[in-house]
Amino acid sequence: MRAIISALCLTIATVPALRSQTPALPGVVRAGLEAYKVSGAYSAVKTWLANSAIVERSGSTAQAFQKAEQAYGRMVGYETLEVVPLGTHASRSYMIILYEKGPIYVWFECYKTKDDWIMTSFLFNAKADLILPPKMLGH
Protein backbone atom coordinates (compact mmCIF):
# COMPACT_ATOMS: atom_id res chain seq x y z
CA MET A 1 0.00 0.00 0.00
CA ARG A 2 2.84 2.38 0.90
CA ALA A 3 4.44 1.69 -2.48
CA ILE A 4 1.25 2.69 -4.29
CA ILE A 5 0.91 5.90 -2.28
CA SER A 6 4.59 6.73 -2.85
CA ALA A 7 4.27 6.13 -6.59
CA LEU A 8 1.13 8.27 -6.75
CA CYS A 9 2.81 11.12 -4.86
CA LEU A 10 5.85 10.93 -7.15
CA THR A 11 3.63 11.01 -10.25
CA ILE A 12 1.67 14.02 -8.99
CA ALA A 13 4.88 15.84 -8.05
CA THR A 14 6.43 15.38 -11.52
CA VAL A 15 3.46 16.67 -13.55
CA PRO A 16 4.25 20.39 -12.99
CA ALA A 17 7.91 19.74 -13.82
CA LEU A 18 6.96 18.07 -17.08
CA ARG A 19 4.65 20.93 -18.02
CA SER A 20 7.41 23.46 -17.43
CA GLN A 21 9.51 21.69 -20.08
CA THR A 22 6.91 22.34 -22.78
CA PRO A 23 8.44 24.81 -25.25
CA ALA A 24 6.97 28.29 -25.11
CA LEU A 25 5.28 29.88 -28.08
CA PRO A 26 7.91 32.09 -29.77
CA GLY A 27 7.29 35.77 -29.10
CA VAL A 28 7.10 36.64 -32.80
CA VAL A 29 4.16 34.25 -33.26
CA ARG A 30 2.26 35.60 -30.26
CA ALA A 31 2.98 39.24 -31.19
CA GLY A 32 1.69 38.69 -34.72
CA LEU A 33 -1.49 37.02 -33.52
CA GLU A 34 -2.15 39.84 -31.05
CA ALA A 35 -1.49 42.40 -33.81
CA TYR A 36 -3.99 40.52 -35.99
CA LYS A 37 -6.70 40.74 -33.32
CA VAL A 38 -6.16 44.46 -32.79
CA SER A 39 -5.05 45.84 -36.16
CA GLY A 40 -5.77 43.26 -38.85
CA ALA A 41 -3.94 41.04 -41.33
CA TYR A 42 -1.37 43.53 -42.65
CA SER A 43 -0.20 44.35 -39.15
CA ALA A 44 0.08 40.64 -38.29
CA VAL A 45 2.09 39.81 -41.39
CA LYS A 46 4.36 42.81 -40.85
CA THR A 47 5.03 41.60 -37.29
CA TRP A 48 5.59 37.97 -38.31
CA LEU A 49 7.97 38.81 -41.13
CA ALA A 50 10.05 41.49 -39.40
CA ASN A 51 13.74 40.57 -39.90
CA SER A 52 12.67 37.43 -41.79
CA ALA A 53 14.20 36.10 -45.00
CA ILE A 54 10.67 35.66 -46.40
CA VAL A 55 9.62 39.31 -46.05
CA GLU A 56 8.97 39.57 -49.83
CA ARG A 57 5.84 37.43 -49.36
CA SER A 58 4.15 39.92 -47.03
CA GLY A 59 1.73 41.46 -49.54
CA SER A 60 0.38 38.20 -50.93
CA THR A 61 0.23 36.65 -47.46
CA ALA A 62 -1.80 39.54 -46.04
CA GLN A 63 -4.17 39.26 -49.00
CA ALA A 64 -4.63 35.54 -48.33
CA PHE A 65 -5.52 36.25 -44.69
CA GLN A 66 -7.99 38.91 -45.88
CA LYS A 67 -9.65 36.29 -48.11
CA ALA A 68 -10.02 34.09 -45.04
CA GLU A 69 -11.70 37.03 -43.29
CA GLN A 70 -14.09 37.45 -46.21
CA ALA A 71 -15.13 33.82 -45.84
CA TYR A 72 -15.04 33.42 -42.04
CA GLY A 73 -15.50 36.91 -40.63
CA ARG A 74 -13.09 38.76 -38.39
CA MET A 75 -10.41 37.06 -36.31
CA VAL A 76 -11.60 36.70 -32.71
CA GLY A 77 -8.83 34.68 -31.08
CA TYR A 78 -6.42 31.78 -31.35
CA GLU A 79 -5.41 28.54 -29.69
CA THR A 80 -1.97 27.02 -29.36
CA LEU A 81 -2.17 23.29 -30.02
CA GLU A 82 1.49 22.37 -29.68
CA VAL A 83 4.97 23.87 -29.94
CA VAL A 84 7.45 21.31 -31.25
CA PRO A 85 11.18 21.96 -30.83
CA LEU A 86 13.20 21.24 -33.96
CA GLY A 87 16.59 21.03 -32.34
CA THR A 88 17.75 23.78 -30.00
CA HIS A 89 17.32 26.77 -32.35
CA ALA A 90 14.11 26.11 -34.25
CA SER A 91 10.49 25.25 -33.53
CA ARG A 92 7.17 24.63 -35.23
CA SER A 93 4.03 25.96 -33.56
CA TYR A 94 0.67 24.41 -34.44
CA MET A 95 -2.19 26.86 -33.96
CA ILE A 96 -5.85 27.47 -34.70
CA ILE A 97 -6.83 30.98 -35.68
CA LEU A 98 -10.44 31.50 -34.62
CA TYR A 99 -12.75 33.56 -36.79
CA GLU A 100 -16.41 34.44 -36.28
CA LYS A 101 -17.58 31.64 -38.61
CA GLY A 102 -14.87 29.00 -38.33
CA PRO A 103 -11.24 28.09 -37.80
CA ILE A 104 -8.10 28.30 -39.91
CA TYR A 105 -5.29 25.90 -39.06
CA VAL A 106 -1.71 27.14 -39.23
CA TRP A 107 1.84 26.18 -38.43
CA PHE A 108 4.64 28.66 -37.87
CA GLU A 109 8.32 27.73 -38.09
CA CYS A 110 10.69 30.00 -36.20
CA TYR A 111 14.43 30.27 -35.70
CA LYS A 112 16.10 31.46 -32.51
CA THR A 113 18.84 33.98 -33.27
CA LYS A 114 21.23 35.32 -30.68
CA ASP A 115 18.69 37.97 -29.67
CA ASP A 116 15.20 36.84 -30.63
CA TRP A 117 12.94 34.50 -32.61
CA ILE A 118 12.33 35.18 -36.31
CA MET A 119 9.74 33.62 -38.62
CA THR A 120 11.20 31.35 -41.29
CA SER A 121 8.04 29.80 -42.73
CA PHE A 122 4.34 29.32 -42.16
CA LEU A 123 1.39 27.67 -43.81
CA PHE A 124 -2.35 27.91 -43.23
CA ASN A 125 -5.48 26.25 -44.52
CA ALA A 126 -9.10 25.71 -43.55
CA LYS A 127 -8.54 21.94 -43.78
CA ALA A 128 -6.93 20.62 -40.61
CA ASP A 129 -5.49 17.51 -42.30
CA LEU A 130 -3.39 19.70 -44.63
CA ILE A 131 -1.71 21.49 -41.70
CA LEU A 132 -1.76 19.32 -38.59
CA PRO A 133 0.25 16.11 -38.19
CA PRO A 134 -1.77 12.88 -38.29
CA LYS A 135 -1.25 12.21 -34.55
CA MET A 136 -3.16 15.44 -33.74
CA LEU A 137 -6.03 14.20 -35.87
CA GLY A 138 -6.25 10.83 -34.15
CA HIS A 139 -4.70 8.88 -37.04
Q: How far is CA 107 from CA 112, 125, 127, in A?
A: 16, 10, 12
pLDDT in tens, 12-32: 554 454 445 567 999 999 999
DSSP conformational letter for 77: E
* Domain span including residue 72: 24-137
Sign, Cα dihedral of 65, 66, 71, 72: positive
CATH number (domain holding residue 67): 3.10.450.50
Rounded Cα distance between 106 and 136, Å, is 13
Residue 15 lies in a domain: no
Mean of all residue pLDDT scores within the chain: 86
Cα R_g (the chain), whole angstroms: 18
Total domains present in the chain:
1
pLDDT average, residue stretch 85-98: 96
> What is the Cα–Cα distance from 125 to 3, expressed in whole angstroms?
50
- What is the mean predicted confidence (pLDDT) over 88-104? 96
